Amino acid sequence: MVIALIAHDGKKPEMVSFAMKNEDALMKANLSAIGTTGKRLKDTGLKVTKLFSVPIRGDAQIAAKVATGEIEAVIFFGDLVCMQPHELDVSMLKRICDVHNVPLAAIPATATLIVKKL
């Protein structure tokens, strides 16, 4: 299974914590992550394919991979407290996941359900 991992700046520590708690399951998957999230996850020892960062449309790159069947699940921990400058790109990614019937987890509880199915 190929899983994309994305986290807004305020949620990166939560993503790293999630990854460490679910390390055994995530090691069975092929992981892709954008920008700094990818770097932080690699620093934990997980094997992660780093994609573009947000300013150069990493979220659009993930959406394209979802649309072509290259990514089978997305875990996206967004910071709902702060308005994000690329909110339209986030909405586009969510729509692409819906259209292509790809699971998208926005919180650790749902993300855990996805990785337990590995």
Distance CA 102, CA 67 (A): 9
Strand order in the sheet with 30-34: 48-51, 30-34, 2-7, 73-77, 104-105
Per annotation, catalytic residue among 9, 24, 43, 59: 59
Residue 59 designated active-site: yes
Q: How many helices (H) and strands (E) does the chain have?
A: 6, 5
Distance CA 18, CA 1 (A): 18
Which residues belong to the active site? 59
